[in-house]
Amino acid sequence: MRPVFLRGAPGIGKSSPVRDFADSLGLECVSLLGTQLAPEDLIGVPRIRNGRSVFCPPEAIARDEPYCLFLDDFPSAAPVLVVTDGRCDVLRVRREHAYLIPQGARLPFTARGPVFRVS
């Protein structure tokens, strides 16, 4: 799967095609509002495992079955957190950003922002 970025003025119906796409594949669409998210809503809270701190992402996004993650209404001036399985092409992000990828995954390019790993 590839991430898709829809950009446009507020209220023109960008959310509908995302939900329709998820429905067409029989996937649940989990929608998170960027204007109301705290970092721990995506990366989770830390926990000590084997003497090290690891992040435990919330159940809403840490799933074994496929689903559509819809990150909606991100403020245009805010930093971006790119959530990926690591199998993505080069992303052109022109503002401050970071990556959230599974433990052991690798990005196929050199990241220009921090990379956080979750297990």
- Same domain, yes or no, for 45 and 69? yes
Given a contact cutoff of 8 angstroms between Cβ atoms, the answer to whether 118 and 104 are in contact is no
Antiparallel, parallel or unpaired: β 68-72 and 115-118: unpaired
* 63 & 92 share domain: no
Distance of CA 27 to the CA centre of its chain: 16
Quick one: 21 and 54 in the same domain? yes
Helix (H, G, I), strand (E, B) or coil at 33: strand
Quick one: 69 and 106 in the same domain? Answer: no
Q: Which has more confidence, 23 or 75?
A: 23
Evaluate if residue 24 carries a pLDDT over 90.
yes
pLDDT tens profile 44-92: 888 898 998 888 888 888 888 888 888 887 666 666 666 665 555 555 6
pTM of the model: 0.57
pLDDT at residue 36 is higher than 90: no
